[in-house]
């Protein structure tokens, strides 16, 4: 039997109104029903960053390899707040990254800029969402500091292009 509240909340994800979709995702995160996971996976691809952020946060309340994989993909989002939410959710789940790229993504999401710089040029793509975040100068500045710490020709190219 389908939970009517779950059905209605999933239906709200189809709204044209972005805040309505974000609120629906937040509500889905409060359901303990595993059927709420699939719509949250879909919400990770929403055009509106705050919907994707809410989806990553909500998925942190669930478990399973499918959740971990979806959050690992969200670490590569082009919006910093989504990366940050995915990193937080992965940490809450006890995820231990085996892939250095995942580790770099989590460190970026946590704002551990000096640790990110230790990954060298391979961390540059992970820094780009934070470098583009003009709404949070401390985030952008921290990412720029990490980029400066990386050095090298590739890092200089990105720094000059900013």
List the CATH number of the domain containing 6. 1.25.10.10
For the stretch 65-97, pLDDT in tens is 999 999 999 999 999 999 999 999 999 999 999
**Can you give the residue range of the structural domain that contains 123?**
97-162
Give me the long-range contacts of 49-53 (CB less than 8 A, separation at least 24).
49/77, 49/79, 49/81, 49/82, 50/18, 50/19, 50/22, 50/81, 51/18, 51/21, 51/22, 51/25, 52/77, 52/79, 52/82, 52/85, 53/79, 53/81, 53/82, 53/84, 53/85
Domain count for the chain: 2
- 117 in the same domain as 58: no
- Whole-model pTM: value is 0.86
Give me the long-range contacts of 35-39 (CB less than 8 A, separation at least 24).
35/3, 35/6, 36/6, 36/9, 36/10, 36/62, 37/62, 37/64, 37/66, 37/67, 39/10, 39/13
- Which pLDDT belongs to residue 153? 52
Assess if residue 69 is contained within a domain. Answer: yes
For the stretch 121-153, pLDDT in tens is 888 888 888 888 777 788 888 888 888 888 765
Assess if residue 156 is contained within a domain. Answer: yes
Assess if residue 60 is contained within a domain. Answer: yes
């Amino acid at each position: 039997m389908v939970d009517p509240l779950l059905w209605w909340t999933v239906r709200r994800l189809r709204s044209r109104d972005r805040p309505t979709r974000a609120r629906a995702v937040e509500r889905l995160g409060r359901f303990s029903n595993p059927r709420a996971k699939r719509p949250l996976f879909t919400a990770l691809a929403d055009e509106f960053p705050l919907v994707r952020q809410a989806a990553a946060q909500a998925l942190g309340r669930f478990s399973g390899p499918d959740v971990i994989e979806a959050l690992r993909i969200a670490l590569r989002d082009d919006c910093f707040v989504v990366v940050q939410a995915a990193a937080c959710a992965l940490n809450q789940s006890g995820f231990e990254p085996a892939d250095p790229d995942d580790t770099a993504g989590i460190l970026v999401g946590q704002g551990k800029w000096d640790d990110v710089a230790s990954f060298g040029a391979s961390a540059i793509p992970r820094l780009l969402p934070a470098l583009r975040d003009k709404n949070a100068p401390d985030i952008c500045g921290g990412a720029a500091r990490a980029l400066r710490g990386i050095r090298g020709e590739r890092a200089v190219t990105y720094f000059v292009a900013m």
